Amino acid sequence: MYEIRKSGVLRNSKIAAAMCLVIGAAVVIPMTLFGTIFAGNHAIPIILLMLLMPIGWAVLGFVSTAITSVIYNLVASRVGGIKVELKAKQETGYLAL
């Protein structure tokens, strides 16, 4: 058994922000396309707002993950971290995709 005693705050936060940005764009792009059909003269502000939403989600994902990682590091240093059992993978000689 291995124990995760410390988590990299900046690295975790960057990964979470990137994931939030990608997921946010995947959600917002269809919403924008659908919304502009019914927007009429108000299409430009809706498009701008929808394009800013994934960036906001990325910022919130970064901040919330940073806070969570700091809390995890504080708690894990006092009571112990998450225990994980790892198994070595055998090399087959083939390129894994």
pTM: 0.76
pLDDT range class, residue 95, cuts 50, 70, 90: low
* Alpha helix stretches (DSSP H) within 1-97: 9-39, 43-79
Q: Which residue has the tokens 């919304």?
A: 35
Q: Is residue 8 part of a domain?
A: yes
Residue 96 is predicted with a pLDDT of 59
For residue 41, give the 3-state DSSP assignment.
helix
Task: Give 11-62 pLDDT, tens digit per residue.
Answer: 999 999 999 999 999 998 888 877 777 777 777 777 788 888 999 999 999 9
Domain count, the chain: 1
Residue 48: domain span: 2-83
Q: Is residue 97 part of a domain?
A: no
Q: Is residue 13 part of a domain?
A: yes
